Amino acid sequence: MAIQVGQAAPDFKLFNTEKKEISLSDFKGKNLVILFFPLAFTGVCTAELCSIRDNYNIYTSLNAEVVGISVDSLFSLDKFKKEQNYNFDLLSDFNKTTAATYGSLYDSFAFGMLGVSKRSAFVIDKEGVVRYAEVLEDAGKQPNFDAIKACLEKI
């Protein structure tokens, strides 16, 4: 089921690369950008997350935090985060429950892989309401970061 703008964001509990459980409620009082990405160490995913890393001050200036979520293990994500020097949390949705809840899961992906996260972006406001939702069918495309920033500027 697709997440709609205006609805309460579904809660999640996932582990970050420091093996700490992170939930949506941890961000209450802050805006949150959730970025689902297919797989660590791939070209488009690396470019997308490096762009966030290099422009992170824009998000913090808008009272927003960013998390990246993929179905990779927290151990793979830890190596990926360290290699790319990401300055935001990467969360492991290894069991694919959060991606499925957010309507961000491919049934079938490249090379016969099943259950890989769709590239998606969600902006959740301080009260936990979805203010922006973009789920891309084409993993080679990136979310509209200008639209994400414009949304953050309005909330």
**Residues acting as catalytic residues:** 45
Report the SS3 class of residue 112.
helix
Tokens at 130, concatenated:
């979805």
> What is the C-alpha to C-alpha distance for residues 15 and 74, in angstroms, rounded to an integer?
7
Q: Nearest Cα to 70, choosing from 107, 27, 41?
A: 41
**Runs of H (alpha helix) within the chain:** 43-54, 56-61, 74-84, 97-101, 145-154
At residue 17, φ and ψ (nearest 5 deg) are -70, -10
